[in-house]
Structure 1
Amino acid sequence: MLPALSSFIEIDTQGMASPCLIINSPNTDERPAGTSIDMIVIHNISLPPNEFGGPGIIQLFTNQLDANEHPYYAEIAHLRVSSHFLIRREGELIQFASCAQRAWHAGVSSWEDRERCNDFSIGIELEGSDECAFEDAQYLTLQALIDALKKRYPIQHIVGHSEIAPGRKTDPGPFFNWQRITPSS
């Protein structure tokens, strides 16, 4: 059984969360030397689109997505992407990369005249889409994770993917309730 929702999460000195299921993604690399981690980017993801609970997200982040399993997968199976964290619909937390590493979640992006947001951000994927509301359990885990990240890193900004890649990305989408999270608890 996977780790359950916890209202208390800790980030250790190596950038690993607990309690959390760890699934290492090969789609990471080193952050530029001297880079301060000061931003959280919130995303949404569902694979296949608008379907929840399957193995598609994990398979995508670990380069194991079968292009023949679903028509949409044929379009994206070649991608090499990851995120630091995924929060499933029931609040389960999965970590794919140490926060000390650069995960490949933001793509071409900029924030306040800084390019390459992957260099200085932590990516959090919420299992969901632009077409439905997120679950209470997801907001609880997200807030606990934000609190833990703020204790470990000098987080100054919490933004949506759409804010750092306008016109290219829409997530976390219109159903994400920003009022459900507090920048500092």
Structure 2
Amino acid sequence: MVRTILQYPALSSAFTMMPAGKRRIDMIVLHATAGSKAGDLFTLMGRDRTHLVSVHYYVSKLGEIYQLVQDKDTAWHAGVSYWEGENDCNRFSLGIELENLNNGVDKYTQAQQDALLWLCQTKIQQYNIPRSRLVRHLEIAPHRKTDPRGFPWDSFKNAAYQGIPDVPPPPPPPPPSPDVQLRDALLDWSYRQVRHVYHPDWAMHQYAIRERIGPPLSPPFGFRANGQTWVAELYGVDAICSSTNDWQTILKLSEITDDGLKTAFRTAAWAEYGVQYHPDWAQHQFVEQKQLGLPLSENVRLTLPDGRAFGTQIFSLDTMYSPDGMWETVDLLSTLANTETNTSPDPALRDALANQAYQRVGTSYHPDWAMHQYAQGNGLGSALTDQAVLNVGTHEYVAMPFGRAVIYSPFGDWGIVHRLDELFEAMVSAFGTGHA
């Protein structure tokens, strides 16, 4: 039986175009959308600019098969993933989404399963896909994904290969080096801290790595300026955006020269943290001049035990303060510490400001901790979250993101502190120098 495949092309900004014959295809990944047809197709076409995903095929509950991305091109469906010694499974897989709520209760219809079976058998034979490489999303991203939940997997997989001689899987590639595994784990973790997913083939994520603009502060969001819709992401050092009319051009907030766009972008970026931007305030003008990054808190009052009071505001790259009532007098936490001699002209104020910044993420400032010393000594800015333990292969690490970089230590070797961006060189070489 031959079925009709309905062509429903995704926007070119939602997948990676590849020359014909240049992409290896030896895996099929099955997904469930956690939605219904109208919303699913809108998102999978790349029209939801705050959640850029795409897929090669979509199978509705009625058994309709839609093709959104051509097989030769790389769809963005797997995210951070790993299978049989390889990561970034988007590179060599076909992604198939099933219309389903993915709650374990919503049923996969018989018409849907029949259409999916035909599609999988067709692609298995077309590309000689081994049995071990017809997989579910939950298998290649086990700590992040559960789809397709409730799907009759064992019986379906047996049916997909019935009458088809299995081919041996390709020889496994050498496993990624420990540094690559660590790098990918830290990137994945840093994006998950802000309810986002790291996509190695997204232009914005490549740009953030190439330009060294620090860890992410937010998932993507949209704003309007100059009659256009823009999509933005916030990072510790800077914010970046792209117009939906020109997805390949990425702009840094600090380098935008158009006053209307810059003000709209900064206002939207600050609003993501619940902070109102006032371009006529001396303190906010100071922020722009000194490039302190993005606000992590509102302006709050800090009173020291000796009775002195200050207005303070935490930014991703520093903490700004003014003596109470003297709003034109603005200074920074970083000026209160001599990192070489560990001295300060005002140690009480320095420690109070530092502790305030760490308390924002649920911890305290410990001047004798190696990570805190490293962050202060290297001007990494404010802590973005508390530290966490990561298991990478057979090793454990403690990681903590600051405005300029994620830092990490082998568990137990607290005196050894490294930066995630030290592991970026090979990635930057692979990305090239363009914005796309």
- Normalising by structure 2, we get a TM-score of 0.33
Q: CA RMSD in A?
A: 1.8
Go from structure 1 to structure 2 and tell me whether the alpha carbon gap of 1:29 and 1:38 turns closer, same or farther (over 3 Å shift): same
**Alignment equivalent of 2:126, drawn from 147, 152, 155:** 152
How many residues in Structure 1 have an aligned counterpart in Structure 2? 153
Shift of 1:28: 1.4
Q: State whether residues 31 and 119 of structure 1, in contact with CA within 8 Å, keep that contact through their aligned partners in structure 2.
A: no
Aligned partner of 2:139 among 163, 167, 173: 163
- How do 1:3-152 residues align onto structure 2 when only pairs under 5 Å count? 7-9=1-3, 19-26=4-11, 27-30=14-17, 34-47=22-35, 52-53=36-37, 55-65=38-48, 78-131=50-103, 132-152=106-126
Unaligned runs of 5+ in 2: 163-436
Larger radius of gyration: 2
What CA deviation, in whole Å up to 9, does each residue of 1:20-41 have, x standing for no partner? 1111112111459854211100
CA distance in structure 2 between the aligned counterparts of 1:123 and 1:154, rounded to whole angstroms:
16
1:176 partner amino acid: F
Code of the aligned partner of 2:86:
R
AA aligned opposite 2:117: Q
Structure 1: distance between partners of 2:46 and 2:26: 28
Deviation at 1:64, TM superposition (A): 2.7
Asked if structure 2 preserves the Cα contact closer than 8 Å seen for 1:129 and 1:172, the reply is no
Letter in 1 for 2:137: H
Partner Cα distance (2:46, 2:22) in 1: 29
8 Å contact kept, 1:40–1:122: yes
In structure 1, the residue matched to 2:341 is none
Distance in 1, Cα, partners of 2:122 & 2:99: 20
Post-superposition CA distance 1:2-26 (Å, at most 9, x none): xxxxx424xxxxxxxxx21111112
Amino acid at match of 2:161: S
* Change in 2 beyond 3 A, CA 1:8/1:121: same
CA contact (8 A) 1:158 1:183 kept: no
Matched residues, percent identical? 34
4+ residue runs over 6 A deviation: none
TM-score, normalising length: structure 1: 0.76
Amino acid across the alignment from 2:93: S
| 1:100-143 deviation digits (Å, cap 9, x = unpaired) | 11100000101011011000100000000222221101110011
Whether the 8 Å CA contact 2:23–2:73 is kept in 1: the answer is: no
